[in-house]
Amino acid sequence: MQRFILSKKNQITLISATLIVVAFISHFGLGNIDISIWSLIIASLLGVAPIVIQAYQALKVKVVSIDVLVTIAVLGAFIIKNYEESAIVTFLFLFGAYLEQRTLNQTRSAIKELTEMAPESALKQMENGEFEEVEVDEVDVGDILLVKTGAKVPVDGTVITGEGHINEASITGESVPVGKTKDSKVYAGTILENGTLQIVADRVGEDTTFGKIIELVEEAQDSKSEAERFIDRFSKYYTPAVLIIAFIVWLVSRDIELAITILVLGCPGALVIGVPVSNVAGIGNGARNGVLLKGSEVIQFFSKVDTMAFDKTGTLTVGNPTVAETEYYGENINEALGYLASVESESDHPLAKAVLEEIGNIELSPVENTDVVKGGGIVATVNGHRIAVGNVKLMEQENVELSEKACSDIKRLEEKGNSLVLTAVDGELKILMGVRDQVRKGVKEVLQKLKALGVKNLVLLSGDNQGTVDLVARELGLTEAHGHMLPEDKSAYIEKLQAQGQIVAFVGDGVNDSPSLALADIGIAMGSGTDVAIETSDVVLMNSDFNRLPHALGLAKATASNMRQNIIIAVGVVIVLLASVFLSDWMNMSIGMLAHEASILVVILNGMRLLRYSLRK
């Protein structure tokens, strides 16, 4: 029976809420006191059932939890026939527990999703030299594997033959596919976008980088889920104190009514309500403003953050490489753009898409005599003209003369972290394009607001090369910047910051960010990121609106402050009421209950202020 009742806590909470609404409508709307009273009695009995069970289970292990005090307080309220108090307290107590449990369940589902993304099969070279499909568990270190276009790399390994471009977003978070040739390293879980590779397995199973991601998420979530709720910690002292005071009063005075009065006045009605009201109001404000805060524990930690670490691609940057700058040289530029588009339309190079998007709709011409120059670009014939599209090295091979202005432009674009695409027509430079992942609009202003809100350290952790990372850091005014970081490197650096006593928030959006999101004191995911990143995180910026981050932090600080205010109000009122019972002649049950109900109203109104919170204020 106990297990059945506890399994129906959510349904009981909903029924209790409905009965309370019916009671108030009957009392104030219809004037039917009987229906109102019976609705409150039934709501109290239903609501207190799981609380009584939890109190019993706590007492069995010698823990006097707040469930114990709520149980006794509800019984006391029944004795003095204050059914409204008992019904509201039990409902809000259960509703607060529901919010926390819901968040925990969502977080746990991340591990399952991660596991489902892991490679399941591989093409393994057998003794006869043929490649056969086997389960990834059957692959051993040293085995030779074949990876075809569109397939997942099954293990961490080294390329022995073939060329291609691999999308490593699941590991490094970088959106630009990386070219792979002989002796290049590849990682399990990444996707070969074009080409064919033969690799030798270096690490398999749980030892792969992807396997470590899953392991890191599991470990981080386990440690985080053990955090206690603040109210339970407080009740360790508060609950026994109220019980002892009431018992002593009964022993001394033998006045059971006075003892029950003290117990009822000591009932943590405002205390139990105060934190959930602040929590719900803060979460509600966040939801309306594009921010999902996952529970009161998250809000408490978030409000204390003094260090924020960021992934680069998809977080500080858009995550989609585009042409950032273009320079033209000489005449007949439109004609040259048509030649460039014609050549790039036949290329599968990652930068070709960005170039074609920049040019837009244009008439294409037949391309002949295409020659792919390894590490340089493409040379082809279009309408009788020799077209060279590629990097500076290709231009030198084609004996293309670079003017002083062109050299200056090339140097300037390279210093800004651009990948260069040069186009020459018949040996004459016509077009220079700089392609890079653009910084999100307004990011610099957002980071300045975070500093104003008390974030002392802004750290960039990226799988991209150190040069590009440094450029982004200088542009945005970040405190630190670290490149060439795999998921385990990011996690290790976050642990290092935490060991130094810093409260760390990590902002990211990819599968590769999941361990860091789970390990950080607060994980913040972009809403358009992977489901795993979103589920693992504590805070989600819906619609990937990075501009909402200062509002999220400011709201967390305001909510945490509001929770503290409500706790002080609730405890203060209880202390005053209990003291007045002994130190005044005017305190009685009616006045005490009036003050008690007033304190509940005060903490509710105080919490509701958060619904109107705005960072500008």
Residue 291's DSSP bridge partners are 541
Q: What is the pLDDT of residue 505?
A: 94
Residues 376 and 394 in one domain: yes
Confidence label for 224 from pLDDT (cuts 50, 70 and 90): very low
The token pair that represents 34 in the structure block: 């009987």
605 part of a folded domain: no
The average pLDDT across 179-201 equals 89
Angstrom distances, CA of residue 75 to CA of 258, 437, 447: 15, 64, 53
CB atoms within 10 A of CB 222: 10
Residue 597 predicted with pLDDT over 70: no
- Specify which residues 390 forms β-bridges with: 377, 422
Same domain, 337 and 403: yes
Q: Which residues pair with 539 in a beta bridge?
A: 293, 524
3-state secondary structure of 614: coil
**Percent share of the chain, pLDDT over 70:** 81
pLDDT for residue 395: 93
Residue located via tokens 């002989």 = 182
pLDDT at res. 221: 45
pLDDT (mean) for 584-611: 73
User: CA 153 to CA 170: how far, in whole Å?
Assistant: 11
| Nearest C-alpha neighbor of 428 from the set 406, 400, 403, 404 | 400
Question: Where among 508, 537, 555 does a domain terminate?
Answer: 555
- DSSP letters, 113-133, are HHHHHS--EEEEE-TTS-EEE
pLDDT at position 605 over 90? no
Q: Is residue 293 within 8 Å of 539, Cβ to Cβ?
A: yes
Task: Name which of 78-87, 191-200, 360-369, 512-521 the model is least confident about.
Answer: 78-87
In a domain, 355, yes or no: yes
Residues 451 and 490 in one domain: yes
> Do 324 and 438 touch, CB atoms closer than 8 A?
yes
Would you state the torsion angle of the CA atoms of residues 91, 97, 99, 101, taken in this order, to the nearest 10 degrees? -140
Question: 571 in a domain, yes or no?
Answer: no
Residue 459 sits in the same domain as residue 542: yes
- As given in the structure block, the two tokens for residue 94 are 């259960």
| CA-based max dimension of the chain | 111
Residue 62 lies in a domain: no
Pair (339, 432) in one structural domain:
yes
More confident residue, 526 or 527: 526
Q: State how far the Cα of 14 lies from the Cα of 8, in Å rounded to an integer.
A: 10
For residues 196 and 192, give the distance between their C-alpha atoms in angstroms, rounded to a whole number: 8
pLDDT score for 309: 93
Quote the pLDDT of residue 385.
93
Q: How far apart are CA 347 and CA 326, in angstroms?
A: 20
Of the listed ranges 176-180, 395-399, 462-466, the least confidently predicted one is 462-466
DSSP string, 280-340: HHHHHHHHHTTEEE--HHHHHHHHT--EEEE-IIIIIB-SS-EEEEEEE-SS-HHHHHHHH
Q: What dihedral angle (degrees, nearest 10) is formed by the CA atoms of 450, 451, 453, 456? A: 110
**CATH code of residue 333:** 3.40.1110.10
Question: Can you give the pLDDT at residue 215?
Answer: 63
- Name the domain boundary from 169, 187, 203: 203
The per-residue pLDDT for range 98-136, each reduced to its tens digit, is 754 554 454 345 455 556 667 888 999 998 889 999 998
Over residues 423-468, the pLDDT tens digits come to 999 999 999 999 887 788 888 999 999 999 999 999 998 877 677 7
Q: Indicate whether 216 pLDDT > 60.
A: no
- Same-domain check for residues 378 and 291: no
By annotation, the residues acting in catalysis are: 311
Residue 158 has pLDDT above 90, yes or no: yes
Q: Is the pLDDT of residue 337 over 90?
A: yes
Number of neighbours of residue 284 by Cβ within 10 angstroms: 14
CATH code, domain carrying 521:
3.40.50.1000
Looking at residue 153, what DSSP letter applies?
P
- Report whether pLDDT(35) > 70: yes
**Residue 160 belongs to a domain with what CATH number?**
2.70.150.10
Cα–Cα distance for residue pair 380/398, rounded to 1 Å:
12
* Domain assignment present for 248: no
Residue 397 reports pLDDT greater than 60: yes
* Arithmetic mean of pLDDT, 484-492: 85
For the segment 165-190, the average pLDDT, to the nearest whole number, is 78
Instruction: Indicate if 450 and 314 belong to the same structural domain.
Output: yes
**Are 451 and 418 in a shared domain?**
no
Domain limits at 199? 120-154+156-203
617: confidence class by pLDDT, cuts 50, 70, 90: very low
Residues 380 and 515 in one domain: no
Q: What is the mean pLDDT of residues 306-334?
A: 86
Q: Which has the minimum average pLDDT: 147-161, 172-186, 262-276, 316-330?
A: 262-276
The answer to whether residue 160 scores a pLDDT higher than 70 is: yes
Sheet holding 367-373, edge to edge: 322-328, 428-436, 419-425, 385-390, 377-382, 367-373
For residue range 535-577, list pLDDT tens digits in order. Answer: 667 888 766 678 889 999 999 999 889 888 988 888 888 788 8
Confirm if 36 and 24 have CB atoms less than 8 A apart: yes
Q: Give pLDDT tens digits for 225-247.
A: 333 355 556 656 776 777 788 88
Give residue 243's pLDDT: 79
On whether both 453 and 353 belong to a single domain, the answer is: no
Residue 27 domain-assigned (yes or no): no
Domain assignment present for residue 197? The answer is yes
Domain boundary (403, 436, 469) is at 436
Cα 430 to the chain's mean position, in Å? 45
- Angstrom distance (rounded) from CA 536 to CA 466: 27
Residue 57 has pLDDT above 90, yes or no: no
What are 388's two structure tokens? 């060279």
Residues 6+ apart with CB under 8 A from 567: 234, 271, 274, 275
Torsion on CA atoms 320, 195, 395, 417, rounded to nearest 10: 30
Decide if pLDDT at 386 tops 90.
yes
Q: Which pLDDT band holds residue 41 (cuts at 50, 70, 90)? A: confident
Distances in Å between the Cα of 475 and the Cα atoms of 172, 197, 273, 493 are 22, 38, 46, 23
What global pTM score does this model have? 0.59
Give the CA distances from residue 426 to residues 154, 336, 383, in Å, rounded to whole numbers and listed in that order: 45, 10, 11
Nearest by Cα to 549 from 316, 307, 295, 291: 291
Would residue 471 count as lying in a domain? yes
- pLDDT tens by residue, 245-276: 888 888 888 776 677 667 667 666 667 667 77
Count: domains in the chain:
3
Residue 54: pLDDT above 90? no
* 506 and 420 fall within a common domain: no
Kindly state whether residues 454 and 548 are assigned to the same domain: yes
